[in-house]
Amino acid sequence: RKEVEQDPGPFNVPEGATVAFNCTYSNSASQSFFWYRQDCRKEPKLLMSVYSSGNEDGRFTAQLNRASQYISLLIRDSKLSDSATYLCVVLQSGGSYIPTFGRGTSLIVHP
Amino acid sequence: ETGVTQSPTHLIKTRGQQVTLRCSSQSGHNTVSWYQQALGQGPQFIFQYYREEENGRGNFPPRFSGLQFPNYSSELNVNALELDDSALYLCASRSGQPGDNTEAFFGQGTRLTVV
């Protein structure tokens, strides 16, 4: 089993739709979680961190479920500009820094 | 623009050759990490450098090595190139201590093709 798993998609949704992605992780010692966005042939950029209590940033909501070892990203009112690949990142705590990326979930928002 | 610059942007090498990729970190960032991203996959962590020492390494063989300089810029060296080394190589810089969860800012990457 991979350390961080994501459904590669693509998720093909109309503008205005709500879409949710999940990301599962295998290491229960994982402490920090992030969602990154990567546009085609571009570098990843941080979308949001994922906090234990859940957090929201505009149309984006991130949730963490430690018991089931997954994080989620919800996008409401999808825009054409949301089309991208969404990468989840899991980080173990401690002095050493080893981030593990999922393979990404592709989102295509169409008119 | 993140302020992280990588060079070259594209590179073609022959199997067995050696390659050096360069990264200039964002001003004020003392930590640099390197990633390999194959087509259709997420970035795979290679290693991280903090204050010129390696701090954290992913599952890559020793022919992947690196350096960090006093100005926090960094190099990734790959010896004995293999066809499977063809990928986008990303560098990311961030501030703080290695264990801090500060945001990592990525450069635009070097696309390496091994033929």
CA distance B25 to B32: 7
CA distance A61 to A64: 10
How far A76 CA sits from the closest chain B CA (Å)? 24
For residue B91, what is the nearest residue in chain A, using CA coordinates? A43
Q: Which of residues 56-85 of B touch A (CB under 8 A)?
A: 56-58
C-alpha neighbours within 13 Å on the C-beta side of residue A81: 1
CB contact under 8 Å between B99 and A97, yes or no, is yes
**Beta strands A84-92 and B10-13, pairing class:** unpaired
pLDDT band at B14 (very low <50, low <70, confident <90, very high): very high
Query: Would you call A111 helix, strand, or coil by DSSP?
Result: coil
- In this complex, the residue of A32, A44, A96 whose CB is nearest that of residue B43 is A44
Q: Which two tokens stand for residue B66?
A: 């690196």
CB contact under 8 Å between B98 and A97, yes or no, is yes
CA distance B115 to B112: 10
- For B70-79, write each residue's pLDDT tens digit: 999 999 999 9
The predicted structure's pLDDT at residue A95: 59
For residue B36, what is the nearest residue in chain A, using CA coordinates? A101
Q: Count CB pairs under 8 A between chains A and B.
A: 58
Residues sharing a CB contact under 8 Å with residue B69, sequence separation 6 or more, in sequence order: B52, B75
Q: Is B49 near chain A, with CB under 8 Å?
A: no
pLDDT band at A32 (very low <50, low <70, confident <90, very high): confident
The predicted structure's pLDDT at residue B98: 73
DSSP string for residues in A26-93: S-TTEEEEEEEEE-TTS-EEEEEEE-TT-EEETTEEEEEETTTTEEEEEE-S--GGG-EEEEEEEEE-
- For B70-107, write each residue's pLDDT tens digit: 999 999 999 999 999 999 999 999 888 777 777 889 99
**Averaged confidence pLDDT in chain B:** 93
- In this complex, the residue of B42, B57, B99 whose CB is nearest that of residue A95 is B99
CB contact under 8 Å between A43 and B90, yes or no, is yes
How far A61 CA sits from the closest chain B CA (Å)? 18
- For B59-70, write each residue's pLDDT tens digit: 999 999 999 999
More confident residue, A31 or B65: B65
CA distance B62 to A18: 45
- Which among B61, B50, B60 has a CA at the least distance from the CA of B94? B50
